[in-house]
Amino acid sequence: MVFKLPDPGKDDLLVSATLGSEVTFSLRTREPALAKLRHAAASVQLEQHFQALRNGPRWLSHKERVALGGLAYDEFVKSFEDFPGEPEIWELAREAHESALSSSERSEAWFGPYVDQLALAKGLVLDPESRRGAIQEAGRALVDVAKRLHRNASGDYSPDPAEARFPRWEDAKPSVSIHDVFERWQRERKPSASTISTWRGCVDGFVAHLGHNDMSRVTKKDVVAWKDALIARGLAPQTVNDGHLTALKALYRYALDNDLVTTNPLDGLRVIVKKRAGTGMLPHTDQDVARILSLSKLETLPYRRWMPWLLAFSGARVGEIAQLWGCRIKVIDGIPTMHIAPAEDGGSLKNVDSERTIPIHPAIVDQGFMNFVRERGEGPLFYQRRGSGEKHPSKGVSNHLAAWIRSEGFTEKRQAPNHAFRHWFKSACMREGILDSLADAIQGHKGGEADRYRHGHLRTMLEAISKLKVEGLKPAG
């Protein structure tokens, strides 16, 4: 990289440096004030370079490539027209430039680094096609410079017709990095770790498809092409809608709300999803639940031993159970309860209505669950303390539980290993005549405005879940 260092009263001093984990070069002065000025200038240029890299390669139209050549023309003319030297110098320069233009390899070596510097001064890194075109236009411009300065050196300062051919360079609108918007959205909205992980994959895939990282340059045509590519890869239409498109729509809404972009190219875009009979999700059957709970009684790993029971008799989401801490298992008015809340080390719930305190089914208490909690202590019941990873460790526990259930022969695709307990709970409550509103309160499943006025009573909830029984519980084998 070439740095332009200010030299008061003179042309800028050009200094080359290799970019790496450290960037080192001499400021070419021992004067503290001048060194400070040059250090500041170099820091600004280095940040411009990194920002350009973060924004991704920029495509230039033919007009923009010629305009970039015009910047080269202006820079050289301003530097030399007052004292152009001998005409022979510029004749040799013209011949050298024309020779370099005759070969793509020589053009790259002769003009490439200078074009990169011109683009960087505008905060740009050019895509390969634009860079090749800009190199040719810069070379042609420097041929025109040599001709003009040859005339100037000969005493002819009449207007140069070549100067009029260059369009004015229009600085591009500030680039809006898709990744930067994602990071801002994440800091402000504080989504769950699983959402962050999933959406980051969607964003990375979108940027890879585009070939750049500028949100303001994305058109509806770009988005449609991306959507079509996802479908062509075999992704289910609902996955594309609910995952990839939902993520990008949320980021564009955030960008619009914060005046980062002026349009949302994803408005109205959806993949047609045709729901077919025989594809909806199913609950575990009574026999499934009986067998899984029987298997869990033989396990020693805490998540296998207790989580299936807690899921079955609370209808809770698996993430809610996986991030339980011992300090949230309490006896209230003689009733053993669990407080469903974000884990103390940074976990999250689906929504604000998910937080609740619910009773623990007597069958779980009878098996010694409260003794297990006392032995585990105040911290996480089913995972180790959180490290520095992006995903909350309870996510791994949830995945391991699902894998274990699948490994025990529960392979029906329409039964999600963990979530099918939630379906079973709701079905079992209906069978026992438990009010939907009460079942919803236990599950943390809010149905509408009226639910905001209902607050489940622990004794009432305990009486309800005590009606739920699983026939056929026995050790496996």
Residue 72 lies in a domain: yes
User: For residue 194, what pLDDT is reported?
Assistant: 72
Residues 12 and 153 in one domain: yes
> Looking at 240, 257, 274, which one is the last position of a domain?
257
pLDDT means per 10 residues, the chain with 477 residues, are: 78 75 83 87 78 75 94 94 95 96 93 90 86 96 97 96 93 77 90 81 92 86 92 87 90 91 86 60 88 94 96 92 93 94 77 83 96 95 73 86 93 88 93 92 72 70 92 58
Residues 322 and 351 in one domain: yes
Residues 294 and 425 in one domain: yes
Residues 300 and 421 in one domain: yes
C-alpha to C-alpha distance for 185 and 30, rounded to whole angstroms: 46
CB distance 322 to 308 below 8 Å:
no
CATH number at residue 309: 1.10.443.10
Residues 22 and 153 in one domain: yes
Residues 30 and 152 in one domain: yes
Residue 358 lies in a domain: yes
What is the Cβ-side half-sphere exposure of residue 369, based on CA atoms within 13 angstroms? Answer: 28
The CA–CA distances, whole Å, from 226 to 36, 199, 221, 254 equal 48, 15, 9, 21
Closest to 477 measured CA to CA, from 275, 210, 298, 209:
298
Residues 334 and 460 in one domain: yes
**Residue 50 sits in which domain range?**
2-165
The total domain count for the chain is: 3
Residue 472 lies in a domain: no
Residue 331 lies in a domain: yes
Residue 470 lies in a domain: no
Residues 122 and 194 in one domain: no
> Looking at 110, 140, 165, which one is the last position of a domain?
165
Closest to 226 measured CA to CA, from 242, 207, 239:
207
> Looking at 137, 165, 193, which one is the last position of a domain?
165
Residues 152 and 30 in one domain: yes
Residue 279 lies in a domain: no
Residues 186 and 208 in one domain: yes
Residue 194 lies in a domain: yes
Residues 149 and 182 in one domain: no
Residue 444 lies in a domain: yes
User: For residue 306, what pLDDT is reported?
Assistant: 97
Residues 37 and 161 in one domain: yes
**Which residues have CB under 8 Å from 65's CB, separation 6+?**
130, 133, 134, 136, 137
User: For residue 213, what pLDDT is reported?
Assistant: 85
For residue 378, how many other CB atoms are within 10 A of its CB? 12
